[in-house]
């Protein structure tokens, strides 16, 4: 890696390392580039990177604002004198001497750029869906096109550190997960191996802020269409996050999983709340589940299992990389209900990407992500 930064591999990161000194400013800094820096996830990533003591952002791109200074496009980033290059430029020219490249582009564009980046020795964290699915046939089924580099699907590591930390540490290519799958997978991970869970009938009822739809204007995200309204979309298994959820949950469970997923658009800028329902025989007690969840996430800096009777709220994780979980039991129907709250731009996107970078670089996992949430 550039600047003499070493890597920590494998089981060394079976649990996160937190509370250790962060990389010193100007000492062993990793040079990074951001392709697509003016979308919601891209600009949130830049904001977080600016506060990271071990990172130097050396390049950023945007076709819509090529040639402009980033802090003129987004004054809240001042001072940030980076001048935006066109994303359509040759990729190696655009990223310069960056050692790690974040790709924050629409689905289908990363696969055109990743092979060249890897060949040049770069490490890549992709925000899109191009490398999240391991099966090329499944990708074609859900995205309606052949994959440009199916040989890389088996190499890409799905980037939830709480699940794949050891593999992320040594990865060249990390597929940053979708926000909905992150919230659902974290909600269910402690139940992998639990006896009697009916994995064939998981129900995920999820609500997201409007930034989850991206920054490009559309009627469906226009203020008068969204304000004072709550609506579902892509229902009845039509959402492309379904195979992503099932793939990763099946890896954890070791068998088939079927998720009935319904996303909803909520009139707020950012935040996500998921309610996940599943049946279990015999029905466990809340105390048993609470203990299992606490064991599973012990030592994790970004996942908090709330106290019995406490329920998560999106306002309590806004602007953070945290996930708040609460587990309950409806004894009358024999249903386990897990609630999961994240910031869709934080743990659901940019925050998780920075957490992945920390894992890849062998840095304390909370470096650059320690700030408390925003309230109100």
The token duo for 290 is 């609470």
Query: Shortest CA distance to 129 belongs to which of 118, 141, 117?
Result: 141
Q: Residues 256, 263, 356, 41: is their CA dihedral positive or negative?
A: positive
Q: Which residue has the tokens 């609630």?
A: 339
Are 207 and 342 within 8 A, CB to CB? no
What are the catalytic residues?
179
110 three-state secondary structure: helix
Long-range contacts of 326-334 (CB under 8 A, 24+ apart): 327/286, 327/289, 327/290, 327/293, 328/286, 329/283, 329/284, 329/285, 329/286, 329/289, 331/283, 334/279, 334/280, 334/281, 334/283
DSSP 83: B
- The Cβ of residue 258 has, within 10 Å, a number of other Cβ atoms equal to 16
The reply to whether omega before 111 is within 30° of 0 (cis) is: no
């Amino acid at each position: 890696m550039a600047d003499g930064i070493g890597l920590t591999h494998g089981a060394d990161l079976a649990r996160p390392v937190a509370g250790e000194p962060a990389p010193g400013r100007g000492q062993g800094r990793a040079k990074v580039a951001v392709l697509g820096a003016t979308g919601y996830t891209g600009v949130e990533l830049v904001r977080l990177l600016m506060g990271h003591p071990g990172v130097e952002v050396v390049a950023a791109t945007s076709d819509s604002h090529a040639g402009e200074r980033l802090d003129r496009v987004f004054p809240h980033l001042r001072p940030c004198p980076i001048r935006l290059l066109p994303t359509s430029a040759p990729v190696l020219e655009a990223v310069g001497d960056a050692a790690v490249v974040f790709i924050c582009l629409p689905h289908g564009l990363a696969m055109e750029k990743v092979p060249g980046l890897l060949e040049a020795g770069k490490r890549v964290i992709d925000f899109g869906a191009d490398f999240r699915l391991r099966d090329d046939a499944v990708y074609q089924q859900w995205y309606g096109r052949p994959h440009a580099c199916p040989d890389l699907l088996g190499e890409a590591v799905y980037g939830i550190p709480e699940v794949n930390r050891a593999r992320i540490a040594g990865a060249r290519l990390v597929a940053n997960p979708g926000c909905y799958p992150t919230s659902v997978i974290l909600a269910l991970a402690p139940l992998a191996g639990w006896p009697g869970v009916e994995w064939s009938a998981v129900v995920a009822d999820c609500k997201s802020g409007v930034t989850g739809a991206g920054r490009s204007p559309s009627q469906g995200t226009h203020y008068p269409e969204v304000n004072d309204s709550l609506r579902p979309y892509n229902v009845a298994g039509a959402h492309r996050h379904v195979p992503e959820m099932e793939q990763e949950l099946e890896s954890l469970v070791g068998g088939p999983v079927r998720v009935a997923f319904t996303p909803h658009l909520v009139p707020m800028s950012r935040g996500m709340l998921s309610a996940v329902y599943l049946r279990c025989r015999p029905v466990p007690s809340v105390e048993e589940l609470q203990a299992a969840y606490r064991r599973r996430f012990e030592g994790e800096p970004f996942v908090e299992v709330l106290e019995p009777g406490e329920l998560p709220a999106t306002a309590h994780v806004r602007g953070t990389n945290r996930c708040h979980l609460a587990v309950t039991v409806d004894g009358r129907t024999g249903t386990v209900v897990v609630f999961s709250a994240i910031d869709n731009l934080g743990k659901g996107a940019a925050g998780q990407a920075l957490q992945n970078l920390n894992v890849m670089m062998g840095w304390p996992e909370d470096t650059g992500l320690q700030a408390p949430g925003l309230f109100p």
